[in-house]
Amino acid sequence: MSAYEAVIGLEVHVQLKTASKLFCSCPNQFGAAPNSHVCEVCAGLPGALPVPNHQAIHYAVLVGLATGCRINQRSVFARKNYFYPDLPSGYQISQFDLPLCEHGQITIEVGGQEKKIGITRIHMENDAGKNIHSIGDNTSFVDLNRAGTPLVEIVSEPDMRSAEEAVSYLKTLYGIVTYLGVCDGNMEEGSFRCDANVSIRPLGSTELGTRTELKNVNSFRNVQRAIEVEIARQQDLLEDGESVVQETRLYDAERNITAAMRSKEEAHDYRYFPDPDLLPVVISDSEMEAWRKEIPELPRARLRRFVALTGLPEPEAELLVQNRELADFFENAAKLANARKVANFIIGPMSREANAQGLALNPGQWSMSAEHLAELVNVVDEGTISNKIANDIFGELLRTGESPKSYIESHKLAQISDASALAGLVDSIIQANPKEAEALAGGKTKLVGFFVGQIMRASKGKANPALVNDLLKQKLHF
Ligand code: ADP
Ligand code: MG
Ligand code: ZN
């Protein structure tokens, strides 16, 4: 990037997890048969009147509060006029002059360095339907199930300077809205979508360069790649003495290029005006007070607390706050067993086994309870089973949800910690290795490991290693 610096601002659309749509009582539900959740209002029939969903306003305010925004207790819905087949009314109901939330800020982290990113505004709007194009029979279909789904659009200041910062910002926002429980976070289904505005300028310049807008890049990885190739493309243009055209571009993940889609429309093209069918949104002081109290501990605060609790370095502990359910799970288990050991079990065997079983690292996906994880950590701590056996049986426990204690008992996995039960085994290994035994007795203590290894193997990992050590010392007098 040498002589240039990138400038990035993001517009994020978050679908709110309400039971019904924003202005009608149709179910807000993904994946139903096409056009099965449609009424006069979300189909945009003339004369049908919208009624705002109070739960959606509540959720949007939570997002504003969690991102440090000022909440406008009086905001206004506006019509954004444009024509497209998935928008039967010919306008989207959004907010323009008076959005619900403004002037926020969130803290992101890149390479161990914290940075604050400004949030310009957060407004509410309804989603459009979906056009489905069938190339085979050269036909297009319109599915209006999504039409009217409540969204918040979170608009950032152009404060990011690299693709990494943009991804970190997105992940931070994602953590916030999923911890709040206002979004299901399903990116494949479009619940969390992002448009990236990208420009470059000579290093040291304070003016903004001409930007392009990359539409609907649908995974963290693709956001990173799309921004990187777009920065490189703009840089090539400037170095060749050409200029960047302000336009909307689409990212093609397969070819890893961005391609022009349409020239950029300006706000005045949309002929915004206050929606005459809707009263201003007014939020009372008592509602504000009640909602403020609902903000849970957010991922960054939780991470800092877990780092203190476990003594793990931040990059390792980060996995524990990946989702709120996992963080709760860790915290519940850590009340009943050594917190650091619980964390290590989640970071190690639990992520490995969840992955092997094709599960997300989320306790909703498996049968093991936090109490059982704690029980497993404790039986290892007490020496009932070795760490290795705990590792070996972890996948099975995760899948079945069986109590570790009863599993260990029914599979006879408890360590042999009884000297008389182990003595015979120790003797037979000594007899089978007379030369090594003589050397060890003669002071070659390096061979302790060799004997312990043999005995552990012969006992299928069940011998108590400390006891084996003691027995060897007794018998060979080293
Ligand atoms: P719209 O895209 O709807 O016209 P805005 O003008 O409010 O809306 O800008 C949208 C986003 O573009 C914001 O996130 C803003 O930070 C970002 N942005 C604006 N100018 C630039 C620029 N020159 N370079 C990069 N991002 C920019
Ligand atoms: Mg835009
Ligand atoms: Zn409807």
Ligand 1, closest atom to CA 265? 4
Spatial separation of the C-alpha atoms in residues 219 and 221, rounded to whole Å: 5
Is the CB of 373 inside a 6 Å radius of any atom of ligand 1? no
SS3 249: strand
Structure-token pair, residue 264: 């950029």
Nearest-CA neighbor of 78 among 153, 144, 177, 162? 153
SS3 142: strand
Which residues pair with residue 201 across a beta bridge? 5
pLDDT of residue 40: 96
Spatial separation of the C-alpha atoms in residues 417 and 385, rounded to whole Å: 10
Ligand 1, closest atom to CA 199? 24
pLDDT of residue 384: 87
pLDDT tens track for 420-443: 778 888 998 999 999 999 899 888
pLDDT tens track for 294-330: 999 999 999 999 999 999 999 999 999 999 999 999 9
Average pLDDT over residues 59-84: 97
State pTM to two decimals: 0.87
The DSSP letter of residue 364 is G
Is the CB of 11 inside a 6 Å radius of any atom of ligand 1? yes
Spatial separation of the C-alpha atoms in residues 99 and 193, rounded to whole Å: 20
- The answer to whether the CB of 183 falls within 8 A of the CB of 17 is yes
Torsion of CA 390, 393, 397, 403, to 10 degrees: -60
pLDDT of residue 98: 96
Q: How far is the CA of 144 from the centre of ligand 3 (A)?
A: 9
pLDDT of residue 267: 67
Test site for ligand 1: of 7, 10, 11, most ligand atoms within 8 A of the Cβ: 11
Which residues 6+ apart lie within 8 Å of 426 measured at CB? 455, 468, 471, 472, 475
Spatial separation of the C-alpha atoms in residues 176 and 113, rounded to whole Å: 19
Q: How far is the CA of 196 from the centre of ligand 1 (A)?
A: 9
Residue whose CA is at the smallest distance from ligand 1 atom 7: 155
Which residues pair with residue 376 across a beta bridge? none
Residue 275 above 90 pLDDT? yes
CATH assignment of 419-476? 1.10.10.410
Residue 464 above 70 pLDDT? yes
Structure-token pair, residue 128: 């459009």
Angle between helices 370-381 and 324-334 (to 10 degrees): 40
Residue whose CA is at the smallest distance from ligand 1 atom 14: 9
**What residue ranges do the domains of the chain occupy?**
4-287, 299-410, 419-476
Residue 263 above 90 pLDDT? no
pLDDT tens track for 92-114: 999 999 999 999 999 999 988 99
pLDDT of residue 2: 64
Percent of the chain's residues with pLDDT above 90:
79
Structure-token pair, residue 78: 């506006």
Spatial separation of the C-alpha atoms in residues 273 and 160, rounded to whole Å: 31
Residue 253 above 60 pLDDT? yes
Nearest-CA neighbor of 390 among 435, 423, 342? 342
Q: How far is the CA of 197 from the centre of ligand 1 (A)?
A: 6
Give CA 141 to chain center in angstroms.
Answer: 32
Average pLDDT over residues 391-405: 94
Average pLDDT over residues 50-55: 97
pLDDT of residue 297: 96
Q: How far is the CA of 460 from the centre of ligand 1 (A)?
A: 63
* Residue 252: count of CB within 10 angstroms of its CB: 12
- The answer to whether the CB of 279 falls within 8 A of the CB of 264 is no
Nearest-CA neighbor of 80 among 67, 96, 57, 102? 96
pLDDT of residue 32: 94
Residue 388 above 70 pLDDT? yes
Average pLDDT over residues 328-347: 97
Is the CB of 197 inside a 6 Å radius of any atom of ligand 1? yes
pLDDT of residue 277: 96
Residue 35 above 80 pLDDT? yes
pLDDT of residue 81: 96
Pairing of strands 212-217, 247-252: parallel
The model's confidence at residue 415, banded by pLDDT at 50, 70 and 90, is confident
SS3 81: strand
pLDDT of residue 245: 93
Q: Where are the beta strands (DSSP E) in 276-348?
A: 281-282
pLDDT of residue 466: 82
pLDDT of residue 97: 93
Geometric angle at alpha carbon 319, from 313 and 325, rounded to 5°:
135
Q: How far is the CA of 82 from the centre of ligand 1 (A)?
A: 20
Q: Which of 45-59, 126-140, 190-204, 364-378 is least confident?
A: 126-140
The model's confidence at residue 27, banded by pLDDT at 50, 70 and 90, is very high
Is the CB of 429 inside a 6 Å radius of any atom of ligand 1? no
Residue 120 above 80 pLDDT? yes
Residue 390 above 90 pLDDT? yes
Test site for ligand 1: of 120, 155, 262, most ligand atoms within 8 A of the Cβ: 155
Ligand 1, closest atom to CA 198? 25
Nearest-CA neighbor of 201 among 159, 231, 181, 240? 231
Percent of the chain's residues with pLDDT above 70:
99
Q: How far is the CA of 124 from the centre of ligand 2 (A)?
A: 15
Residue whose CA is at the smallest distance from ligand 1 atom 24: 199
Which ligand ends up closest to the CA of 211? 1
